[in-house]
Amino acid sequence: MNIDNNEGNYIIFLGTGTSTGIPVISCKCATCTSNDPRDKRFRTSAFIHYNGLKLVIDCGPDFRLQMINNQIDDIDAILITHGHRDHIAGIDDIRPFNFILGKVISLYAKEEVMSQLDKEFPYILNPNGYFGSPQLDYHNINDSIFFIENNPIIPIPVFHGKLEILGFRFGNLAYITDASQIPDSSMELIKGVEILVINALRRSPHISHLSLPQALEIIEKVNPQKAFLTHLSHFLPPHIQILKDLPNNVSPAYDGLRVDF
């Protein structure tokens, strides 16, 4: 799909899996051996087409194939939720946008994420870095609303274990991944959204990610028209089985799914 020929606001789920992806190396469980393409999950990421902007949320190790598989040949900016490797490891692969399109890619993240990027990729942030390194325009963000080409984006602070990370609201869509707790103040920020994307790692509790029951409880409180689950692990059953167990307004997202908002 050539995104330049698609108007309106929409999200494409580039990846919907947890840090291991699915299938998991060496695993023979029902989810990992499923023949359903919806059970093949790259690390969590999303493409947001928002008032003409082409945005990517997170840039993990599958970034290159996510761009190719979804025929995304141009982006304006990358928004980073937090600095864990499954969300930043693909940052070097933005170089074709520099080389072929001749553009610098804007990157929006919290200051501590920039520090993590500096540790992981010291040659990128170094102003005297080597020729051919990724060309990025860095924008430090915090909990305050920010604008890209006059379009408002609302950060949604959530906790990933003890780490405070960000989700984002784009008009009628809120996107939250890797959360284990959503403060009341952030629940206010997602009030009234029509589309809610939220992580649901597995059925049993986890120290740093919402479980499926916890995610469903949040969805019930927010009451969106439609909710999509992301950052799924192989400890959940295959896609078709999860779908049967969910309320009518909730679906597991899958790689390549497009949703208008």
Which H or E element spans position 244? helix 239-244
pLDDT for residue 47: 99
Distance CA 214, CA 227 (A): 13
Sheet containing 258-260: give its strands across.
136-140, 105-109, 77-79, 53-57, 45-50, 10-15, 258-260
pLDDT for residue 6: 63
pLDDT band at 1, cuts 50/70/90?
A: very low
| pLDDT reading at 68 higher than 80 | yes
Which H or E element spans position 245? none
When mean pLDDT is compared across 130-139, 170-179, 203-212, 237-246, the lowest value belongs to 130-139
**Residues belonging to the chain:** 261
pLDDT for residue 223: 98
DSSP assignments along 81-142, one per residue: S---HHHHTTGGGGHHHHHHH--PEEEEE-HHHHHHHHHH-HHHH-TTPPTT---EEEEE--
pLDDT for residue 64: 99
When mean pLDDT is compared across 9-18, 125-134, 163-172, 224-233, the lowest value belongs to 125-134
Closest CA to 153 of 109, 115, 184, 215: 109
When mean pLDDT is compared across 43-52, 118-127, 155-164, 238-247, the lowest value belongs to 118-127
Beta carbons of 252 and 232 less than 8 angstroms apart: yes
Distance CA 175, CA 11 (A): 10
21: region left, alpha or beta (phi > 0 left; psi from -120 to 50 alpha):
left
Beta carbons of 69 and 41 less than 8 angstroms apart: no
pLDDT in tens, 163-207: 999 999 999 999 999 999 999 999 999 999 999 999 999 999 999
**pTM value?**
0.96
* Burial (Cβ within 10 Å: 0-12, 13-18, ≥19) of residue 68: exposed
pLDDT for residue 5: 52
Report the Cα 1 to chain-centroid distance in Å. Answer: 20
**Bridge-partner residues for 230, per DSSP?**
199
pLDDT for residue 184: 98
pLDDT band at 126, cuts 50/70/90?
A: confident
Distance CA 217, CA 146 (A): 29
pLDDT for residue 106: 98
Q: What is the mean pLDDT of the chain?
A: 96
Closest CA to 155 of 128, 134, 175, 130: 175
Distance CA 244, CA 146 (A): 39
Q: What are phi and psi of 26, to 5 degrees?
A: 75, 0
Q: Which CATH class is domain 3-260?
A: alpha beta
Beta carbons of 145 and 169 less than 8 angstroms apart: no
Mean pLDDT, rounded, for 20-44: 99
**Bridge-partner residues for 163, per DSSP?**
160
| pLDDT reading at 82 higher than 90 | yes
- Tokens representing residue 163 in the block: 């780490």
